[in-house]
Structure 1
Amino acid sequence: MKKISFFLLLNLLLGNTDAQKNIYYPTQFTNSLTKNKSLTWLADTIVAYNHLQSPTYRYIYVFDTDNKLSQFKTDIWQSDHWENYLRTNYSYDSNNLLIQILDEQWNQGLWEGHNRYSFTYDQNNKLTSYITEYYDSNSWHYSEKYQYLFDIQNHLLFYSLENWQTDHWDKNTKYEYTYNTHGDLVTELHQIGENNIWVNYEISTYTYDSNYLKTQLEILNWNNNAWENYFKQEFTYTSTGKIDTEIDYYGNNSQWLLYDKTIYTYNAQDSVETQLFQIYQTDHFENDELYLYSYDNDGNKILEVSKIWNSGTWNNNDSIKYTFDSQNHLIQKQFFKWNSSTWANFQQWHYVYNSNQLIQESYEKWENNAWSYLYIYTMDFDTQNNLLSRIEERWQNGNATKVKYSYLYDSNNNSIEGKYEQWNNGAWEDFITNEIPIFSNQQVINSVTNNQLHRYEAHFKSFEINTIQAEAIKIKCSIYPNPAKDFVNIDFSENQITAKATIFSTSQKAIQTEILKDKHNQININNLKPGVYFIQINSYSFSNIFKLVKNY
């Protein structure tokens, strides 16, 4: 099946979620496509062209009178006419809750079923079940069944997955949850199906102090009909609620054995000043790694130094220097490696801005005692801050390539055309890529995706924001720092927000999922490779996608 929009797919399939990990929770889809001001315009017809200027696919979105998506249809160009190819139909109940998704494909002049997804809800409009089916041999067949139970505070109490086996549902996995009066998760019981009976697998227990800060996480595994220690964390905090120490243990039968410890110190502005990692050795903690941070008067991190403990002394490892302009824009980042007695050049980034936007980004690597470019990205904007073009120059093994994305806009700041070209023999020529984004009000609202894409033309339709959507707008979410290296913070404007953060690569692969239970949350991104990612944030009444840049 050809894909039109990664972001639409995320909204449809990942949707809103509660506080737990590993939970598949499809959206209630109360018109999440029009949930904020930047999405008051949506493309309802998109035509894709190849580099020969021949049409390839046409994507048509049909909306009902409440502005909910009722059908998404893909047509394919056949010589001289459009022919039906794929379509997805969406059905809703009287409360505007999604109750069915039906995927169909065109086969010998008729629409034929492909996949079907059915949803049920309780009297409080909370999801209770989700069943998937596939079409084969002229009939529908069950595939998977998900069941959910929520309390009146929208906390997930129960979740299960069962798979259809010939004539019955076979138990796969189940989670049960309890909470304290503050709404914090206290226990998470994980069970799995064996011979169609639920058996224990893992239990996690959370402990909090009087300020509802998590002080302990304890994870036990089920082994030989008894709970066995597996992993434990203990936390202490400063008077301002910042993590002071984190101690990790691993389980050894009925004992907890020390594993490592992290100690934080903070400056007067409560920014991390030092981060000390220690490993437990026999009867004491031994230093392992140390990170030192410095900031300017505006709170911008300007220096980061890492040290490695070796033979009883701290040895420099690497450092990063950040330079900001008077508007606190990051204009340079320099990465150094320690070379016996001096800091040696390794990598550097430069950033150039106009009065409103980043207009150039470059990346260089130190090789053979000189700086060599790996890429330069140059952006051009109109007076409304719409992206007109993005030129990407890249160098690899001495070879240079240059490509350009360019856009045309209507008077409502909607990109009615997007085009991809490659520089060849001194001129721009038509070329193909696999994805070109669609913009409205300076935001990416969709993207056209296929393997022979040179250009698209889009027609837009306007929408009004309803009461439910206006309430969702009140919840604001911020992600910082961005770019980030080790950690990224996710803050909400409201206190009791329960959400899931999923990090996706630009190739649309889900890489990391974290549960967000607090107004302020921090995610460790050490395991991510440097590059561009997307973070999808979903809660029961809030959904958004952010671009994240992971630095070296």
Structure 2
Amino acid sequence: MVSAAIAIGLLWSTAMTATVDVQPELLRSALRYRQALTFLKNHPQQQQLMVMALTSAETRVTDPSALATAYTQAGLVAASLLRSDTSYVWDGSQWTGSSRTTYGYDAGNHQTSQVYQTFTGSEWINYFQTLSTYDGNGRLSTDTMEQWQSNAWVYQSVSTYTYDGSGNLSQIVSQDWSGSQWTNGTIVTFTYTGGRVATALTEMWSSGNWVNWGLSTYTYDVSGHLTQLLGQTWQSDAWVNQSLTTSTYNGSGDETESVDQIWQSDAWVNMTKHDYAYDGSHQQILDVTSTWFTVMWMAITNDTMKYAGGQMTEKVTVNVLANSVSRTQYSYDTDGNRVLALTEDWDMIGSQWTNAARDVWVYSAAVVSCCVGMRGNVNQAGIIDISDLTGLISYLTGAGYVLPCPEAANVNGAGIVDLSDLTGLISYLTGAGYIPPNCP
């Protein structure tokens, strides 16, 4: 049971960030979920753990770079587009390629391709790619995943996304390629309460029928913060508890604690805990990860973060068990996009920082076309307040950051700007009045 809990925890950290959960992440989590299921399709027990990985909560974007990375993929107009993300490792004398992801877009700046490669010997080798299509409203319609085999791309899986009348993502149907045709794999159905995700039901295709597999249930406080995420699996015609994540917030709405538990011997057993601290601008400056040892929490890692101009510039990680210290320093371009992350390890013997890993992001200019737009209410702290029909958008920050501009036809007489993203969750933006942006 412990190994299962560890696996769930790893998948959880990959699929969801509890403190900064951007609504488009719902779809990106779904994509990672499908990718993992595809690679684990011959390992049903590991596949079952993936049920707990698909999650969503309220939307909170806390820096301009998040707009560039998340909302560009959501189909909104952006100032720049991510073209590649390359990872390197230090071999002791030079940087060696590790992995690379390149991105392609259509004329509307929707991300249409994502090619993942690994570095072998002296060249980049294709590994898998994801091809995306969109409906007439700019919402994600399909994701097709292909793997590189014998110098050709071979189908692996396809996911089809549908939306309800309010534009909420309602269902994801995923199929696997049998070699000659698509066969049903999983279906995830979302329900909503008050505009927020209430449940995510996962069913598996078995013997010609959809059968229950996993259920995620979301609980929120009166302010709309996600306070509990309950994960259950279907066993012997009943839902059985598997995992529970409980979050606590301060009066400013910042998450201060997150506790992960597993169901064992008819009781919840502590596994991991995160304690967070923030500065006056609600930027997370501390993340202490602890593991439960019989009767008490023991700190395992301690992350401290520094910021400049609203952007993280450094993160230092102290690993108590490994008795090691590492730091990652971040650099940005003039548009606020993260372009470099350099990770170094502390050499205790030599008393110096040594290279460990490096990530490089490359961007290109996006196609921007708008002549009528509206800026939200910007207060002295540089926070742009936004409201939407679902209540999922809490705020966007970044002093002076220009909001994506909707087309003129979407501005009605009531002073409401209608927008749509690939989840369909952003319905309108409200503000104090029209402020036409500078259009190219």
Normalised TM-score (structure 1):
0.38
Higher strand share goes to which structure?
A: 1
Greater RCO (CA < 8 Å, at least 6 residues apart) = 2
> Which protein shows a greater Rg?
1
Normalised TM-score (structure 2):
0.46
Higher helix share goes to which structure?
A: 2
